[in-house]
Every structure is written in structure tokens, then in C-alpha cells.
Structure 1
Amino acid sequence: MTTLQSSIMSIESEASVLQPDPAPLPASASSWRSRLLRITSVVAAIAAWQLLTANDVRLWLRFDTLPTVTDVVSAFGTQLRNDLFYLDLGQSLIRILSGFGLATVIGVAAGIALGRSTLFADVLGPLTELARPIPAIAVVPVAILLFPSDEAGIVFITFVAAFFPIMVSTRHAVRALPTLWEDSVRTLGGGRWDVLARVVLPGILPGVFGGLSVGIGVAWICVISAEMISGRLGVGYRTWQAYTIVDYPGVFVGMITIGILGFATSAAVELLGRRVTRWLPRGERA
């Protein structure tokens, strides 16, 4: 009897060890909790802004000089009924997409060439490293002198801003590829173009999209700055005009519009990157 009881107890202890841990929260519940936290943080920031500005709080910062949330919302509604707002919006989008599109094509091609060609790296590598630390906004005087129109100059500044992050990320991604992959393709009889199509291009996609995410953000910073300096239309130009006529709610409308545009384009790049690199393993977000 004692032996039987000990056997049962042993089986029960093993069963308790083998019993799976409690199931984690469903993915949908975790996703909703994350969204709720994000929305709550935005609402809390807006509420703090309204509280500080409506009560003319002046501590170390002068919140009494800033417009309230209600003033900005009212100005935003006025802008949404103005056709000029949509003209500025379209002009800024055309500039950012033109410059960023050129930077994507040329930056990826240059990054691959710098990473795989010693001759190309020796000839153009020093020039790119000398030009890379120069802020793109510092190129504004050169763009004004170089191009016959302000429009072409702003697109050029946007291109310069996005080109270097994309080129550098692509170059690093090319150099980080395992040589075993290329050796395997060549062993099977593949040529240079086979290596490029089957090894290099698929292998560098994560690095390329990392550079694109950085590039689109830097491009927005520079296109808005260029519009403020030498533009005729655009969200940046209109925001600066609002500041010159002391229309502070209009300034905040411009800032919020820029933030929304930047968020939307960055999210589009990230979504495209996830779709293109869907074969990669994805880690769970904490």
C-alpha cells in the first residue's frame, strides 16, 4: 500500500511539473491595451496643454503666451475650409515624394556600389564621407544659386537630406552580408547578376528600409525648413507666414499638420517594409 501511494504521489508530482503555464493574454487583448495606453498618453498631453494655457500658468516656462487647445482647434477648422490649405498640403507632398523618391533610387544604387565595388569606393567614397556631415539645410544657398527655380532647389535639398541615411544604411547592409551566401550561388554556376538578384537585394532589404525610415524623417525636417527660407507655397512657408503676422494658433496648425504628414509617411514606409520583408522572423513586442 505504501509503495502504491508513493507511486501515485510520484505520478502526481510529475504531472504538476509537466502542466503548462497559464496561457498568456490573447494577442488581441494585448493589442487593445497598447492602443489604449497610446491614446491615453495623447489625451493627457492635450489636457495638460489646455490646463496650463487656459490658466495662464507661468513657472519656468511662459505658458500664458501660447494659444489654448480650443484656439488651435478653431484655427484648424478655419484652415480646413480654406482651399489654400490643401494647395500647401499638396505642394509639400509633391516636394517630399519627389526628393525622397530620387534619394531612394540613387541612394540604394550608390550604397550597393560602395559596398561591393572597391573602385567605386575608392573614387566616390571619400567624397560622400566629406559631404555627409554637411547639414542639408546648409545647402540652401547653393541650391538657390544652382537651380533656376525655387521648386527645383527645394526638391534638391530634400533629396540631399534623404540620400545619405539611405546610402549609408544600404552600404552597411551590403558589407554585413555573409560571404557564404555569395559563394554558394557562384558554386552553383551563378554569375554577378545572379548574386545581385538572389543574394544582395533580398539580403539588404531590412537595412534598406531602416535607412528609408530615417531618411523620410530627415527629409521632412529639411523640406519644411527650405519652404520657410525660400518657398512660395507649402506647409512650412505657411507656418512661417503665420508667425510673421503673429498668428500663433496658425503656427500650431502648421506644426500639427507637419507632424501628421510625417507620421503618415513614416508609417507608410514601415508598413511597406513589413510587407516586403514578411519572410523575416518577427519578435514579439514587449
Structure 2
Amino acid sequence: MNVSDRPSAGRRLLPALSLLACVALWHLAASRHLNLGLVTFQNVPQPLEVLDAAWALLQSPKLQYHLGSSLSRVLSGFVLAAVAGVGLGLAIGRFHWVRETLMPPLEVARPIPAVAWIPLSILMFPSSEGSMIFITFVGALFPILLNTIHGVHGVDPRLIASARSLGTRRWGIFLRVILPAAAPSVLTGLSIGMGTCWFCLVTAEMISGQYGIGYYTWESYTVQNYANIIVGMLLIGLLGMGSSALLHRAGQALMPWYRPGGRA
């Protein structure tokens, strides 16, 4: 790596300064009970109140149950969506008859928000746990599916032609050419799907959960514990950011031929 490629101290410091600026603005608006007409901070807790609430949650035995429930639901729904989305995306992107058969019903279901599936999922699954996992699955499925399809469509036809001229058979082309070339788009879909997993999980837990970060956030609102609401929101953000970062690192490790920025 060249010296010019190494991040400078200013670049490393900039994200921290950005976060500190956001916290400072939050403190200023909440401490002065700022009222902007359309937006008011009269009931918004200050950062120190949220910090106290976060410390109380860290000491509470309920934290492990909330975290364990949410993480298990996200992981289950995401893995199912990844298997189905990548598998269907590769088949739809590669085979015309699969695309003509499956894309019409998938295109009808795709615009339906995951929240709208909640009543039906409650009817379909005997347990609330199954319905919440299903909601996370639906939320993550379509970003993974569509990005995989676009990745397959974006494979250079010359690579496929070259492989065929060298005697590579159909499954060899699929495994050695199409899948590696589409992998960056698949990773993008997985990253987006992970984010939508958390979004959909929180919504499902607010309605059907007894434990979980979403349930904790909604319960805090119902009892008017406003500091805990922000604790739950920040915890969701940190978990979502951390899971996406882990996924990105894993993708980079599995794709040594690809560098961020679209350069292979």
C-alpha cells in the first residue's frame, strides 16, 4: 500500500467529530427545549439521561434476553432469506424459463411492505416466534434477490464465451465464472438485506414480541420512559451497523479478487 493510500489522522478523526457534533446538537436542542414549530424537543431526553438509562439496562438481567431474542430472530430470518434470495437470484438471472415463471408473482409481492405481512403471518404461524422470523425473512429476501439477479445480468458475456471455448461445461461456467463475477452484487444485496432485517424485526417485535430490542423500545414508549426509547433506538443502530460491518468483512475475505470501488 502506498503512503498516499493510508488514511490520514484527519480522516480517522472525522467520523468521531461528526458523532460528537450530533450529540452536541442533540444536547443543545433537548436542554433548551427547542420548539421549531413542526419539530419540538420539549419531551426529548438529554444525552446524559440516555446514558444513565443505558447503564441501567447494562446492569439489568433482561438485557441478555432482549439481545438473545432479537439476534436469534435476525439470524434465522437472514439466513433463510440469503439461501432463498441467492439461490433464486442465480436461477432467475441465468435461466430464461425460471425468470418467466417466477418473476411475475415475485414482482407482485415485492412492493408489499413487510409490515403488511404481519397480520397474515400471525394467521399462518402458530407461534409468534415463527411469525417474527417470517417478517424478517420477507424484509431481507427482495434486496438479496434483486441484487443477485442484477449481478448475474452484469456478467461480461465475453467471460462466458471464453470459458465455453476452453471446454468448460454448464455447471463449471456457473460456478467458476458467473458466481464469482456476481459475488460483489450479492454482497451488496446481503448488506441491504441485513439492514432491512433489523427494521422489520423491530416492527414485528412491537406487535408480537415479549422480549427483544423492538419490544423493549415500544414498551418504553407505552410507559413513557423516553430515555429508554432512545437507548433502544441506539442499540438497534449499533447492532445493525455491527452486523453489516461483519458481513462486509466476511465478503472481502471471501472475495480476494475484488476490491471496493468496483475494481476487480
TM-score, normalised to structure 2's length?
0.94
Q: Identify the match of residue 217 of structure 2 among 239, 255, 261.
A: 239
In 1, the alpha carbon distance for the partners of 2:174 and 2:35 equals 61
Code of the aligned partner of 1:137? V
Deviation (angstroms), 1:31: 3.7
Q: 1:282 to 1:169 in 2, by over 3 A?
A: closer
Code of the aligned partner of 2:36? L
Q: 1:108 to 1:247 in 2, by over 3 A?
A: same
Deviation (angstroms), 1:126: 0.6
In 2, the alpha carbon distance for the partners of 1:42 and 1:111 equals 38
In 1, the alpha carbon distance for the partners of 2:26 and 2:12 equals 21
Partner of 1:103: 81
Identity %: 41
Partner of 1:36: 13
Q: 3-state DSSP class of the match of 1:65?
A: coil
User: Greater Rg, structure 1 or structure 2?
Assistant: 1
In 2, the alpha carbon distance for the partners of 1:25 and 1:184 equals 38
1:185 aligns with 2:163: yes
Partner of 1:149: 127
In 2, the alpha carbon distance for the partners of 1:214 and 1:226 equals 18
Q: Runs of 4 or more off by more than 6 Å in structure 1?
A: none
Partner of 1:214: 192
Deviation (angstroms), 1:73: 0.5
Q: Identify the match of residue 72 of structure 1 among 24, 40, 50.
A: 50
In 1, the alpha carbon distance for the partners of 2:259 and 2:250 equals 16
1:200 aligns with 2:178: yes
In 2, the alpha carbon distance for the partners of 1:168 and 1:282 equals 20
1:272 aligns with 2:255: no
Instruction: Name stretches of at least 5 consecutive residues in structure 1 with no aligned partner.
Output: 1-23
Code of the aligned partner of 1:130? V
In 2, the alpha carbon distance for the partners of 1:282 and 1:133 equals 30
Deviation (angstroms), 1:159: 0.6
In 1, the alpha carbon distance for the partners of 2:260 and 2:215 equals 41
Q: 3-state DSSP class of the match of 1:64?
A: coil
Partner of 1:50: 27
Q: 3-state DSSP class of the match of 1:279?
A: coil
Q: 1:26 to 1:116 in 2, by over 3 A?
A: closer
Q: 3-state DSSP class of the match of 1:163?
A: helix
In 1, the alpha carbon distance for the partners of 2:28 and 2:150 equals 47
Deviation (angstroms), 1:204: 0.5
In 2, the alpha carbon distance for the partners of 1:32 and 1:148 equals 54
In 2, the alpha carbon distance for the partners of 1:59 and 1:172 equals 44
Q: Identify the match of residue 117 of structure 1 among 95, 105, 115.
A: 95
Q: 3-state DSSP class of the match of 1:63?
A: coil
Q: Matched residue pairs, number?
A: 260
RMSD, aligned α-carbons: 1.6
In 1, the alpha carbon distance for the partners of 2:80 and 2:26 equals 39
Q: 3-state DSSP class of the match of 1:232?
A: coil
In 2, the alpha carbon distance for the partners of 1:143 and 1:26 equals 53
Deviation (angstroms), 1:46: 0.7
> What are the superposed Cα offsets for residues 182-230 of structure 1, whole Å, 9 maximum, x if unpaired?
2222222221111111111111011101111111111111010000011
TM-score, normalised to structure 1's length?
0.87
In 2, the alpha carbon distance for the partners of 1:62 and 1:188 equals 67
Partner of 2:148: 170
Q: Identify the match of residue 159 of structure 1 among 137, 153, 156.
A: 137
> What are the superposed Cα offsets for residues 81-109 of structure 1, whole Å, 9 maximum, x if unpaired?
00101210111011001100111111000
Partner of 1:19: none
Deviation (angstroms), 1:58: 2.3
